[in-house]
Structure 1
Amino acid sequence: MAKPVVARHSVFAAIIRGVAVRQTVMVCVLAVLAYGVLWWMLSEDESRAPEAAMFLTDYSKAQKGTCVRFNGPGEDDLGLTVIDCEGGRAALKIGTVLGNMSGQCPRGEYKVLRDTRHNAALCLLPNARQGDCFELDTEDLQRSVVSKFDCAAPRVNVQVVGVARESCPAEAELGVPYEGMTLCLRRVR
């Protein structure tokens, strides 16, 4: 008589283990899906629309006025991605494309990136409008990491008070010249 009870007990145990495994798998799948949806909702528009973002590998094909961001964690030669200039992450804009690496940027404090494979260079400037806030080294823009932030961010050190053709308004503490314009800044911290 003990054998039928043991057999029924092992069948019930197997059923319970199967249900527990299916529930665990289902919870994991739902967690991954929830994370993906949350990431998609909180990410910026340029990262959701791959057709709008283009990886720039040949600097000679870049276009003046387009905005770019670095692909790596810092500003190294991991490459650039062309992005929408209206996006919050668009801190740098292509001011001039040089047809060879030894070319010189026009008048101004440009950040210069050289492409040795295609013998080209980019002259980058901040993608700035009045009211934008940045973290940048105003003494050495070439070596500075240029990052655009919300003005309340603790890393912000300058705010754009104007983009002028010639001279800056009185509230500007310094002017950073570029060809055809001057970026007028005031120190925040």
Structure 2
Amino acid sequence: MLSEDEPRAPEAAVFLTDYSKAQKGTCVRFNGPGEDDLGLTVIDCEGGRAALKIGTVLGNTSGQCPRGDYKVLRDTRHNAALCLLPNARQGDCFELDTEDLQRSVVSKFDCAAPRVNVQVVGVARESCPAEAELGVPYEEMTLCLRRVR
């Protein structure tokens, strides 16, 4: 049974094993215990722990993500790749490696959780507000963060 802060999958869980069929803006979680090629499950972006969102779907594994610090997953079986970014709104808290998002496990937590290391202070089209310590750029926005702990 899911607790209130667990992500809820759509009525019929969609397992995404063919990345070429993914849709931009969809939130996903990894099926296995780690970030591996067991596939992804499409989840509700409003779920408390929906940490990753598809920013761009690339039509081949050698494609490059647009401007930004994306986590890239390549699907060699279907010659496609996904450019993933944090599913973030102002006030959300994450554990992520701001120096290397590609290698980082991106996890969303309640802001009181001991693993949290950054909080979103804004999602901007241009520049971040003054309280932001760092900005992580993406094609359509900049994620404005402050360090926690």
Alpha carbons of structure 1 residues 166 and 79: separation in structure 2 relative to 1, 3 Å:
same
| 1:96 positional shift | 0.1
Alpha carbons of structure 1 residues 74 and 44: separation in structure 2 relative to 1, 3 Å:
farther
String of CA shifts for 1:126-180, please: whole Å, max 9, x gaps: 0000000000000000000000000000000000000000100000000000001
CA contact (8 A) 2:7 2:47 kept: no
Alpha carbons of structure 1 residues 187 and 48: separation in structure 2 relative to 1, 3 Å:
closer
Alpha carbons of structure 1 residues 97 and 91: separation in structure 2 relative to 1, 3 Å:
same
Bigger Rg, which one? 1
User: What residue is the counterpart of 2:58 in the other structure?
Assistant: 98
CA contact (8 A) 2:123 2:143 kept: yes
String of CA shifts for 1:85-143, please: whole Å, max 9, x gaps: 00012100000000000000000000000001000000000000000000000000000
Alpha carbons of structure 1 residues 46 and 148: separation in structure 2 relative to 1, 3 Å:
closer
| 1:78 positional shift | 1.4
Distance 2:27 2:7 in 1: 14
User: What residue is the counterpart of 2:74 in the other structure?
Assistant: 114
Unaligned residue ranges in structure 2 (runs of 5+): none
Alpha carbons of structure 1 residues 48 and 159: separation in structure 2 relative to 1, 3 Å:
closer
Distance 1:92 1:157 in 2: 17
| 1:43 positional shift | 3.4
2:20 is paired with a residue whose SS is helix
Distance 1:89 1:164 in 2: 22
**RCO comparison, higher one (Cα < 8 Å, 6+):** 2
Query: Over the residues paired in the alignment, what is the CA RMSD in angstroms?
Result: 1.7
1:170 is paired with a residue whose SS is coil
TM-score, structure 1 normalization: 0.75
String of CA shifts for 1:66-98, please: whole Å, max 9, x gaps: 000001111111110000000012100000000
CA contact (8 A) 1:56 1:80 kept: yes
Distance 2:73 2:41 in 1: 13
Distance 2:123 2:51 in 1: 15
The count of corresponding residues between Structure 1 and Structure 2 is 149
| 1:53 positional shift | 2.5
More helix by share: 1
Distance 2:104 2:128 in 1: 22
**Any runs of at least 4 consecutive aligned residues in structure 1 with deviations exceeding 4 A, and if so which?**
44-50
% identical aligned pairs: 97
